[in-house]
A and B are shown apart, each in its own frame.
Chain A
Amino acid sequence: DAGVIQSPRHEVTEMGQEVTLRCKPISGHNSLFWYRQTMMRGLELLIYFNNNVPIDDSGMPEDRFSAKMPNASFSTLKIQPSEPRDSAVYFCASRTGEETQYFGPGTRLLVL
């Protein structure tokens, strides 16, 4: 299995631009998570889907962030407009069942 796939791996953009991060979960996994990791705040959950349905989006920082999961094999996290404080590493993770999460390699986002 290829594991969780994220793209792009690195993104540099200017403030105000739209950013779209993509994730392909492990086949057969029914839950998908988006996290943001910074030195200051550690790994924070942004949103969590179960069977393609958003279950908990309380971690989404503000209306500039949105996430979709149109089918079981694809999810996007969009930031519009982006701001320098959004600079972080964004991880996607998936799981089947209740427990262990499998993380992708992350997208390193830098907003100038």
Chain B
Amino acid sequence: SQKIEQNSEALNIQEGKTATLTCNYTNYSPAYLQWYRQDPGRGPVFLLLIRENEKEKRKERLKVTFDTTLKQSLFHITASQPADSATYLCALGGGGSQGNLIFGKGTKLSVKP
């Protein structure tokens, strides 16, 4: 069955450092991969989308890479700030999923001042 793993449940880093979150998947060939941010008590909010034929995508301090050979995506937040503290979810789409997204369980990022 399809499986998505985000490398750790929690990640603690110091302000100003780069946070790197990992998303691995098996038994799936997604057409695209998305990253969402979720704050406590709120619904997920879309951040970035990267397609299977793209290697890297950037948006301000965010960078996403997508390696379909390794079946892995890396999500980077550079110059991290305490306001970046949240849970980050990766989601796979396309690839015969009838338009659905399959979500990982998320990584809770804490940025300490």
Chain A interface main SS type: strand
**Chain B interface bracket (under 10, 10 to 19, 20 to 34, 35 or more):** 20 to 34
Given A42-B106, A100-B49, answer yes or no on A106-B43 (Cβ-Cβ < 8 Å): yes
Within 8 A of B (CB), among A62-109: 91, 93, 98-106
Within the complex, the shortest CB–CB distance from B25 to chain A, in Å, comes to: 14
Residue contact A106 to B89, C-beta cutoff 8 Å: no
Q: Please indicate the chain B residues that have their CB under 8 angstroms from the CB of A45 in the complex.
A: 100-102
Total A-B pairs, Cβ < 8 A: 54
Q: CA separation between A103 and B89, bound complex, in Å?
A: 13
Q: Please indicate the chain B residues that have their CB under 8 angstroms from the CB of A31 in the complex.
A: 99
Size of the A side of the interface (Cβ < 8 Å), in residues, is 24
List residues of B whose CB falls within 8 A of some A CB.
Answer: 32, 34, 41-46, 49, 89, 93-94, 98-106
Listed from nearest, the 7 A-B pairs whose CB atoms lie closest are A103-B43, A42-B105, A43-B103, A100-B46, A103-B44, A91-B43, A56-B98
